[in-house]
């Protein structure tokens, strides 16, 4: 792999590599890490609107909508009407809840491996740096 001083390139490479590790761990459940994150946020937020869910995930509504349609087609989420027709609510189905529970152990296993490999201090430093990057304008 060619070395570079470009922060964006290095961060994207690292992100793709870490995503692959999580995806491999979740493969037996039939979801990827992006879908797991979406399902976990749905569980945490308990029937959010698409707008609120998009904000929590840092996604635009159209990207989120495409991802939700895939999960809806698999019976893991259901979308319903909110207060008005512009405000759709999203909820986990029983199958979605079971999927999250099944995937949790695999996700936790990867989390533990990454912390063991990095150590608490480096993990904390990385989390701090990522927090700063998330708020750049």
| H/E segment holding residue 77 | strand 77-81
Contact, 103 vs 26, CB < 8 A? yes
90-101 mean pLDDT = 96
Residue 86 or 49, more confident: 49
Q: Which CATH number fits domain 22-134: 2.60.120.260, 3.40.50.720, 1.10.10.10, 3.40.50.2300?
A: 1.10.10.10
Task: Give which of 93, 111, 109, 112 is closest to 39, Cα–Cα.
Answer: 93
- pLDDT tens by residue, 41-60: 999 998 999 999 999 999 99
- Predicted pLDDT of residue 84: 64
Angle at 81 between CA 76 and CA 87, to 5 degrees: 105
Cβ neighbourhood burial of 64 (10 Å; 0-12, 13-18, 19+): buried
- Is the pTM of the predicted complex or chain greater than 0.85? yes
Domain boundaries, the chain: 22-134
Contact, 61 vs 68, CB < 8 A? no
């Amino acid at each position: 792999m060619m070395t570079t001083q470009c922060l964006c390139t290095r961060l994207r490479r690292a992100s793709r590599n870490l995503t692959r590790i999580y995806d491999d761990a979740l493969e037996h459940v039939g979801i990827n890490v992006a879908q797991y994150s979406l399902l976990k946020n749905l569980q945490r937020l308990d029937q959010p609107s698409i707008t609120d869910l998009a904000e929590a995930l840092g996604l635009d509504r159209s990207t989120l909508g495409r991802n939700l349609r895939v999960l809806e087609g698999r019976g893991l989420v259901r979308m319903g009407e909110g207060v008005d027709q512009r405000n759709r609510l999203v909820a986990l189905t029983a199958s979605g809840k079971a999927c999250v529970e099944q995937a949790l152990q695999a996700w936790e296993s990867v989390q533990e491996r990454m912390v063991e490999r990095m150590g608490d201090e480096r993990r904390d430093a990385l989390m701090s740096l990522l927090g700063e990057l998330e708020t750049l304008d």
